[in-house]
Structure 1
Amino acid sequence: MDSSLKILSMNCRGLGDKQKRRDVFQYLKQKHTNIICLQDVHFNDKKEPIIEAEWRFKTLICGYTTAARGVTILFNNNFEYKLNKICKDTISGNFIIIDIEVSQKRFILANIYGPNEDNPKFYQNIQSKLQNFQCENMIICGDWNLTLNPEKDTFNYKHVNNPKARLQVLKLCDELDPVDVWRYSNENK
């Protein structure tokens, strides 16, 4: 493997259907990534052995219902890694945060599926969980169900979606000083 780590993040809008899951897994394998963060998978934790058998490599699932929400982290076998700690949202199945080492470099990887309602406490909880890991290197993936920059990211919306939660995420950004990789690479889009 080269020294770069390839991580893909995608909202699946449900993978309960076996054929859809097979198609999505086939698509994901063609991407030749190392780690895949999926949101809105509609899995509960009991499905982890089944999904891992279908994916054929290490799988982490967090979810409590097969009808909504849920996040999954899929690992490929094309790189070496060590999982040091796993933190799952046992209440709503909306996040997994892991402490992982790759090529002797430690970082935190968070896969987040933000609630559809305006819930700033969810993001306060995320911030607290991230701070508990005590690691400077973080990668935060997911679908936050809000926009940080409504002027650039929304068109013809009458109101800002989830305004209180958005303010909480902006506070989190002030504290953690993250780089939005997509925005950095697509400044004018």
Structure 2
Amino acid sequence: MQNAPENSSRKGLGLTFTSWNVRGVNDPVKRRKVLTHLKSLSSDVIFLQETHLKRDFHIRLRFNWVGQVYHSSFSAKARGVAILIRKGVLFKHHSTIADKQGRYIIVTGELQSIPVTLLNVYGPNYDSPDFFRKVTRSYTSLFE
């Protein structure tokens, strides 16, 4: 295993992004294991799919190292997406579009003073042009 190069994200010149379909984090033991593993990855921005958390329960994703949580929920048994931003990462939130079906979330803001749009999608497991048109319409509405 090599040491991180001098210009790694730990030196402040970049950010680390992680995406993970967690297949549910309702169980406290599983949630703790998932969040502990994510912390060990030193990810700065994390995209989670299939959180299976009700709206009021996404606060449980805010461990001591998590600074901000943005989410879209459906039910405790299906869907749900979340974006976690590590404490210490400069993020100024501008707007959020959260799908009522818990399939996507779009968050705009400034990440380390750079304008960004963060998009986390948990698409249906079948071809659904209507779903992807809906996501595209939501995204493009930000720029109208």
Report the CA distance between 1:63 and its aligned residue.
0.9
- Aligned counterpart, 1:108: 117
- Aligned counterpart, 1:62: 72
TM-score relative to the length of structure 1: 0.66
Q: Deviations over 1:52-98 (max 9, x none)?
A: 257653212211201011101111013111010011001x1101101
Query: Aligned partners of 2:65 and 2:16: how far apart in 1?
Result: 17
CA radius of gyration, larger in:
1
1:28 aligns with 2:38: yes
TM-score relative to the length of structure 2: 0.85
Q: Which runs of 5 or more residues in structure 1 are unaligned?
A: 136-189
Query: Aligned partners of 1:42 and 1:102: how far apart in 2?
Result: 27
Higher strand share: 2
Task: State the identity as a percent.
Answer: 28
Aligned ranges 1:41-60 → 2 under 5 Å: 41-52=51-62, 56-60=66-70
Contact 1:43–1:62 at 8 Å: present in 2 too? no
SS of 1:58 mapped into structure 2: strand
Query: Aligned partners of 1:56 and 1:105: how far apart in 2?
Result: 20
Kindly tell me: are residues 55 and 114 of structure 1, through their superposed partners in 2, closer, same or farther at Cα, counting changes over 3 Å? farther
The one-letter code sitting in structure 1 at the alignment partner of 2:15 is: L
Aligned ranges 1:92-103 → 2 under 5 Å: 92-103=101-112
- Aligned counterpart, 2:87: 77
Report the CA distance between 1:46 and its aligned residue.
1.4
Contact 2:67–2:88 at 8 Å: present in 1 too? no
Query: Aligned partners of 1:54 and 1:70: how far apart in 2?
Result: 22
The one-letter code sitting in structure 2 at the alignment partner of 1:3 is: L
Query: Aligned partners of 1:105 and 1:56: how far apart in 2?
Result: 20
Report the CA distance between 1:120 and its aligned residue.
1.4
Q: Which runs of 5 or more residues in structure 2 are unaligned?
A: 1-10
Higher helix share: 1
Quote the RMSD (CA, aligned, Å).
1.8
Contact 1:44–1:61 at 8 Å: present in 2 too? no
Q: 1:122 is matched with which residue: 119, 131, 134?
A: 131
Report the CA distance between 1:134 and its aligned residue.
2.3
Query: Aligned partners of 2:138 and 2:23: how far apart in 1?
Result: 26
Report the CA distance between 1:50 and its aligned residue.
3.0
- Aligned counterpart, 2:3: none
Contact 1:99–1:109 at 8 Å: present in 2 too? yes
SS of 1:98 mapped into structure 2: strand
